[in-house]
């Protein structure tokens, strides 16, 4: 009994296209797909990314903090992450690229989703339950039940057993930050009483994304390009 988890695409269409091709080539279309948020911002293809995402019909999408910044202007007020004015310009650039239909789609996706997967309960959020800008704290989850807590946000894969529970972060598809610049996604496989949590890495055309950031003169692009290539967080952004 499998599901696939994809998080933090960040308007990186070549990464999402590489994932889609991998899924087709490996005949994985029958496995339910769950998205953990941050579809837009920090990449050059927000509208194209949302359009491709919406073509994965019938799948489950959660909102991330960057999706929230785009649909709510006030989310940027006093946000330390956007202390750099270029960050605010970047968010406005992203919003300007999105069609009314895509903005409406972003506005209507939930922040949490839960369901049963065999012997396990699955609890999905972008960051943690009380904040989309923080990550799950192993000391604050219910470790006495078989629960897979699925989350994104950090852009770093995490597979942590805590009592009977697991915390699983599949990493970032479009902007990994764990020094491996390949796109990252996850597969959860529940078999009997056990859950296996696998992170899959696939190469994609990073320089196509870089060229689009340059060609479209995306604000804040210097740091974004650097971190796409190195998979290291940079405060040049």
By Cβ distance, which residue is nearest to Fe ion? 38
**Between 97 and 227, whose beta carbon lies closer to Fe ion?**
227
Order of strands across the sheet that contains 112-117:
112-117, 120-125, 147-150, 165-169, 158-162
- In terms of CB distance, is 194 or 234 closer to Fe ion? 234
- By the rule CB under 5 A, 237 interacts with Fe ion: no
Minimum CB separation from Fe ion for residue 100, in Å? Answer: 24
Instruction: Tell whether the torsion through CA atoms of 155, 37, 17 and 224 is positive or negative.
Output: negative
- One residue of 3, 19, 38, 221 binding Fe ion per CB under 5 A: 38
In DSSP terms, 4 is beta-bridged to: 33, 187
Contact range with Fe ion by CB under 5 A, out of 35-43, 81-89, 97-105, 135-143: 35-43
Using CB under 5 A, which of 8, 48, 132, 178 touches Fe ion? 8
Residue 180 vs 189, nearer CB to Fe ion? 180
148 close to 80: Cβ distance less than 8 angstroms: no
**Smallest distance, Fe ion to C-beta of residue 155, A:** 6
Contacts of 232 (CB under 8 A, 6+ apart): 177, 179, 226
Q: Which is nearer to Fe ion, 165 or 213 (CB)?
A: 213
What is the distance between the alpha carbons of residues 166 and 153, in angstroms, rounded to a whole number?
17
Q: Where are the alpha helices (DSSP H) in 32-115?
A: 46-55, 65-71, 85-97, 100-107
Nearer to Fe ion, 17 or 38 (CB): 38
> Minimum Å distance from CB 168 to Fe ion?
16
Chain residues in the site for Fe ion (CB under 5 A) = 8, 38
């Amino acid at each position: 009994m499998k599901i696939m988890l994809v998080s933090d695409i960040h308007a990186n269409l070549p990464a999402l296209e590489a994932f889609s091709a991998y899924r087709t080539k490996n005949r994985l279309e029958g496995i339910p797909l769950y998205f953990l948020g941050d579809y837009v911002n920090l990449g050059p293809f927000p509208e194209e990314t949302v359009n491709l995402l919406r073509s994965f019909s019938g799948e489950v999408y959660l909102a991330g903090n960057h999706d929230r910044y785009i649909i709510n202007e006030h989310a940027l007020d006093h946000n330390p992450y956007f202390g750099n004015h270029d960050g605010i310009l970047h968010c406005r650039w992203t919003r300007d690229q999105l069609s009314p239909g895509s903005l409406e789609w972003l506005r209507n996706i939930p922040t949490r989703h839960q369901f049963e997967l065999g012997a396990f309960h699955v609890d999905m959020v972008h960051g943690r339950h009380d904040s989309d800008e923080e990550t799950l704290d192993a000391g604050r989850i219910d470790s006495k039940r078989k629960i897979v807590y699925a989350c994104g946000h950090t852009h770093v894969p995490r597979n942590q057993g805590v009592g009977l529970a697991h915390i699983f972060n599949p990493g970032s598809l479009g902007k990994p930050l764990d020094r491996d610049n390949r796109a990252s996604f996850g597969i959860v496989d529940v078999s009997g009483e056990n859950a296996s949590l696998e992170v899959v890495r696939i190469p994609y055309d990073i320089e196509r994304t870089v060229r689009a950031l340059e060609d479209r003169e995306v604000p804040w692009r210097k740091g974004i390009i650097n971190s796409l290539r190195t998979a290291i967080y940079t405060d040049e952004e």
